[in-house]
Structure 1
C-alpha cells in the first residue's frame, strides 16, 4: 500500500488518482513536452492546497503518490522526495487564486496548439468541435518566458470566466471544476486546432460556421460547456489507462 495513501483523505487520494491519470493520458495522446508543462488540481478541503507533477518526471511516469502537494506560493506542504518547478506553477497559481471554480488547470505546449496560437486570427469556427471552445475562449498575449506578478494580473483578467484560453505564441490552457472536464476541454480545444490546421493546409476555400450559430453558442456558453460530458467520458479513459499504461493509481 502506498504510504502517501495512508496519510491523506479518501477524497485527496481520488484526486491524486484522477490527476495522475490525466498526466498519463496527455502522454498517451502525444501532447506532452518532456517535463515542461503542468496540470494542477486543488486538494478537496478548506485549505488552498494543490497537487502538481514532480519536476523531472515524464508524464507517462506520474503516479498518484508522486504528485507533490503545494500551497499557492508553490511551497511544499507535505513531505515528498520530489521537487516541483516553482516557475511552472506560476500560471496555475494565478488561475487557481482568481477562480474558485478552477479546481483543475491544464497548460500544454502541443504542436497544433502553439501553431494556432501564432495565427493572427487564432481559432476559427471551422468545425463543430471548435464551437465548444469558441463558446468560452479567451486569449492572452505573449510577454516572454518569465511570468512576473504583474503579468499574472493581466492573465487572469484576460481569462475572466472562460474555460478555454489560447496563450499567444505559447500554447493552450483549460480550467474546470473537475479534472475530467478540464481534460475533455483540452481534448476539444486540441482537436479543434488540429482540424483547423489540416483544413488550412489544403489551400482550398474554407467554410466557416455561420455567425448566428456561433453567437447563439456563445450566448449559451455555460450550458454548452457543462453539457460537454467530461464525467461521462472519464470512466472509459480510466479503463483505457488500466489496459495500456497501468500503475497510475499507485
Structure 2
C-alpha cells in the first residue's frame, strides 16, 4: 500500500488532500487499512497506515487522524462489496476535469475498454481490485483514459469526428 502511494505521488495525483487507498484486512475482513490524513503520498511508509473497523474506530497501526470522507467512502464500499479487497480514490486533474461532464467514459481505445460496462459517472475516480496493485493500476489507466477522452472532445470541437469502439470490440479485451 505504501508503495502504491509513492507511485501515485510520482504520477502527480496529489491535487487536494483527500486521496486515499484502502485494503481489507486479511485476518479480520470486517476491518480495513487506510492512509492517515496530512501525510505526503511520496513519504508514505507501511508504519503510517491506520487500521479501522466499520464504525470508524482506530484499532491498530498508526493512531493518526484519517479523512472522514475517505472513511465514509471506503467503509461503505467494503461493507457493500465483499469481493473488493482494495480501493483507490484521488483527485487527479484529468479525472476531476472529465467528471465535470457527468458522463461515463466512451470506449475510444483498448485501454478505455477495460472499463466497458463497468464504470459510472461520479464526482471523481474510484477504482477497486483484489489487490492494491490492481486498484492502483486501474486508477492510472482510468486517469489516462480521462485525458484521452478530454483530448478527443477538444478535437471534436474543431470538427474532427470521433470513432468509438463497437460493443463487440469493447468486449473483446475482457476475459474473466
Taking structure 2 as the reference length, the TM-score comes to 0.89
Provide the residue aligned with 1:52 in structure 2.
34
The C-alpha deviation readout for 1:17-48, integer Å capped at 9, x for no partner, is: xx111111111111122421211111211352
CA distance in 1, matches of 2:29, 2:129: 18
| C-alpha RMSD over aligned residues | 1.9
Task: Tell me what 1:155 maps to.
Answer: none
Question: Partner of 1:32: helix, strand, or coil?
Answer: coil
Unaligned 5+ segments in structure 1 are: 1-18, 140-165, 227-250
C-alpha separation in 2, matches of 1:64 and 1:79? 9
The aligned residue for residue 212 of structure 1 is: 168
Partners of 2:149 and 2:45 lie apart in 1 by 34
Tell me by how many angstroms 1:116 deviates.
Answer: 1.6
Unaligned runs of 5+ in 2: none
1:38 corresponds, among 2, 20, 23, to: 20
Whole-Å Cα distance in 2 between the matches of residues 50 and 82 of structure 1? 15
d(CA) in 1 for partners of 2:103, 2:28: 41
Aligned match of 1:186: 139
Distance in 2, matches of 1:57 and 1:205, equals 44
2:94 equivalent in structure 1: 112
CA distance in 1, matches of 2:99, 2:147: 12
What is the distance in 2 between the residues matched to 1:114 and 1:96? 23
Number of the residue aligned with 2:59? 77
User: Superposed, which structure 2 residues align to 1:170-249 within 5 Å?
Assistant: 170-202=123-155, 203=158, 204-214=160-170, 216-217=171-172, 223=175
